[in-house]
Structure formats: structure tokens, C-alpha cells
């Protein structure tokens, strides 16, 4: 199936007509890129990226400021057509997530979560979307982390799904609340053992003395739970659910005249509006 099929929720992709410019100018390599893909087992040799980037001279091809200014892409893969949009933004979100999966976008469930601290300072970081239903978008984290302190002070979040390969972005805002302990426990139990141990071992967002102290904490945790299959959910770890109140879909178009459609929740329905790019 065409990932941008007309039937799949208000988006279109058509063949490019003759005479149009190609959508993407080939870009020369920009130097060392970190490897994507599987995480090496805990405690294994550092990836070559670490050796190259942190232990040797800078790569010869660092982009100059002038090169950065020239970096741009011409978008034109699809369109958002109001008359074809589903009434529920989660229907369109599911279609777009399925498209990103089908195109093998790396970490298609990665999203940036922005929060506001008690001091009013914003923070943003990437997390993984681990659950989605009509109640909202769920991610898991340490309840002692900086983001959790922010959400305690201001229980609202903004999410961004940066699907660059698809020339798409989705933004979500709404109130954030902790999920139930049962839900967190069920998710925690599904994680690989090494990640469950990592959750116990890491005082997320705290300053630590050095790498060795982290490695020691992990080894001590592994020892403490040795032979125990059901490493329990720490009481300082769990999920947050962001209830979507506003959901904006962005599809890149030519001339920077992109399509933006914003859904706003009303008492019983959603209002859709087109925004200028």
C-alpha cells in the first residue's frame, strides 16, 4: 500500500509532474555520524563513534557556518487536504505513525517532550512513546528526574514528533498526569532485564561523580537482584500520560508554503483549523 494513500486519513502523494525540480538536492556528507541501530550490551566496548568523536582530532569535514546556512531541503512529498481529514486527530496520528514505521524511520516513536520548570524555564528532551489510546500519549521515566519535577510544578507538556524523513511533524499539547501503578508495573515488566536494572541503578538527572560510580551502581543492582527474574517496579519510576488538547499536523510543501492543520478539543468534539506555514 502507498504509505500516503488518499484513503489513509487526509494525506496525499502524487507523482511529480515532468519539469518540476527534484524534491531533495543531494547533500554531501557532513563528517562523522553516530551509528544508529541496536544498543550494544551493557558494559561492552564503546562504539566506534565514541572513540572517533571524543578521543581523536575533530573530523576534517565539520560544516562551516557558511555550509550550515546552505543546508536546506525542498519538501513536496505530500499534502494535507481538509475535506479528507478524519474527525479525530488520533486517527490521522495512527496513519502517520504507521507511515513512519513502514518507511523505517529510526525510532519512529521518539518524541520531544517540553516541560516548564517551577522557575518558568522551559526544558525539552526526547523520550519514547510507549502507549497511545483515546486517553493520550504515554511515556515512561524516573519520577525523581528533572522532567518529573517540572511536571509536578506545571502538569502540562508539549510533544513533538520530528519525522524529518517523512517531511512531517506532529505537535501535541495538553495536561500530563502519572499513569496508574498497575499500568507502569505492566510496562516495566515488559522491559528487558538490563533496562529494569538500569532504572533501579540510575538516579536520573542527578549529578554523579563519574562513569565508574554509575557502573558500580549498576553492578551492585545486578548483584542485589541476582537470580530474581521479576525485578519489581521501583516506586520512583513510571509513566506519564499527556491528554491531547491541541494536535497539529505539519506536512512540508514547496516554497515553504507548508500544510498545517490544527485540531482543538472542544467539550465533545474536535475543531480543525488551517494555520499559515
Ligand X SMILES: Cc1ncc(COP(=O)(O)O)c(CN)c1O
Using a CB cutoff of 8 Å and minimum separation of 24, what contacts does 117-124 make?
117/146, 117/149, 117/150, 117/153, 117/154, 118/149, 118/150, 118/153, 118/154, 123/147, 123/150, 124/160
147 annotated ligand binder: yes
Q: Measured between alpha carbons, how far is residue 8 from residues 69, 95, 174 in Å?
A: 36, 6, 26
Interacting partner of 189 out of ligand X, ligand FMN, none (Cβ under 5 to 8 A depending on kind): none
The least CB distance from residue 235 to ligand FMN, in Å, is: 16
Interacting partner of 107 out of ligand FMN, ligand X, none (Cβ under 5 to 8 A depending on kind): ligand FMN
Q: Which helix (H) or strand (E) holds 83?
A: none
Q: Which residues of the shown chain bind ligand X in the complex (CB under 6 A)?
A: 128, 140-141, 191, 195
Enumerate residues 6+ apart whose C-beta is below 8 A from 187.
130, 131, 140, 239
Is the CB of 128 or the CB of 193 nearer to ligand X? 128
Q: Say whether residue 206 binds ligand FMN (CB under 6 A).
A: no
Binds ligand FMN by CB under 6 A, chosen from 42, 175, 205, 225 = 205
Q: Say whether residue 154 binds ligand FMN (CB under 6 A).
A: no
Q: Say whether residue 204 binds ligand FMN (CB under 6 A).
A: yes
Helices (H) and strands (E) in the chain, counts: 7, 12
211 is catalytic: no
The least CB distance from residue 191 to ligand X, in Å, is: 5
The least CB distance from residue 231 to ligand X, in Å, is: 13
Burial 75-100 (b: 16+ CB within 10 A, else e): bbbbbbeeeebbeebbebbebbbebb
Q: How far is 220 from 236, CA to CA, in rounded Å?
A: 18
Q: Binders of ligand FMN: how many residues, by CB under 6 A?
A: 16
Q: Say whether residue 196 binds ligand FMN (CB under 6 A).
A: no
The radius of gyration of the chain's CA atoms, rounded to the nearest angstrom, is: 22
What angle do the packed helices 211-224 and 193-201 form, to 10 degrees? Answer: 120
Q: Say whether residue 110 binds ligand FMN (CB under 6 A).
A: yes
141 annotated ligand binder: yes
Indicate the annotated binding residues for FMN.
125-130, 140-141, 147, 169, 204-205, 250, 260
Contacts with ligand FMN, residue ranges (CB under 6 A): 107, 110, 123, 125-128, 139-142, 145-147, 204-205
- Residues marked as catalytic: 256
Indicate the annotated binding residues.
125-130, 140-141, 147, 169, 187, 191, 195, 204-205, 250, 256-258, 260
Amino acid at each position: 500500500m502507498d504509505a500516503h494513500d488518499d484513503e489513509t486519513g487526509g494525506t496525499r502523494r502524487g507523482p511529480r509532474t515532468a519539469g518540476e525540480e527534484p524534491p531533495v538536492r543531494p547533500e554531501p556528507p557532513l563528517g562523522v555520524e553516530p551509528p544508529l541501530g541496536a544498543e550494544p550490551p551493557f558494559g561492552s566496548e564503546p562504539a566506534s563513534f565514541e572513540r572517533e568523536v571524543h578521543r581523536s582530532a575533530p573530523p576534517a569535514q565539520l560544516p562551516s557556518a557558511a555550509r550550515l546556512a546552505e543546508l536546506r531541503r525542498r519538501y513536496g512529498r505530500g499534502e494535507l487536504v481538509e475535506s479528507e481529514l478524519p474527525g479525530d486527530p488520533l486517527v490521522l496520528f495512527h496513519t502517520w505513525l504507521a507511515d513512519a514505521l513502514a518507511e523505517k524511520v529510526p525510532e519512529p516513536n521518539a518524541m520531544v517532550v517540553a516541560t516548564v520548570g517551577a522557575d518558568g524555564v522551559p526544558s525539552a528532551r526526547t523520550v519514547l512513546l510507549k502507549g497511545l489510546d483515546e486517553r493520550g500519549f504515554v511515556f515512561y521515566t524516573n519520577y525523581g528526574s528533572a522532567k518529573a519535577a517540572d511536571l509536578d510544578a506545571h502538569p502540562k507538556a508539549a510533544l513533538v514528533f520530528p519525522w524529518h524523513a517523512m517531511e512531517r511533524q506532529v505537535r501535541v499539547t495538553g495536561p500530563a498526569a502519572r499513569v496508574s501503578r498497575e499500568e507502569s508495573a505492566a510496562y516495566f515488566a515488559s522491559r528487558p532485564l538490563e533496562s529494569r536494572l538500569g532504572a533501579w541503578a540510575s538516579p536520573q538527572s542527578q549529578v554523579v561523580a563519574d562513569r565508574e560510580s554509575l557502573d558500580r551502581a549498576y553492578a551492585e543492582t545486578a548483584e542485589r537482584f541476582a537470580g530474581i527474574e521479576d525485578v519489581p517496579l521501583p516506586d520512583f519510576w513510571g509513566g506519564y500520560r499527556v491528554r491531547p488538547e491541541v494536535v497539529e499536523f505539519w506536512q512540508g510543501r514547496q516554497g515553504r508554503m507548508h500544510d498545517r492543520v490544527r485540531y482543538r478539543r472542544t467539550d465533545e468534539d474536535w475543531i480543525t483549523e488551517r494555520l499559515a506555514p
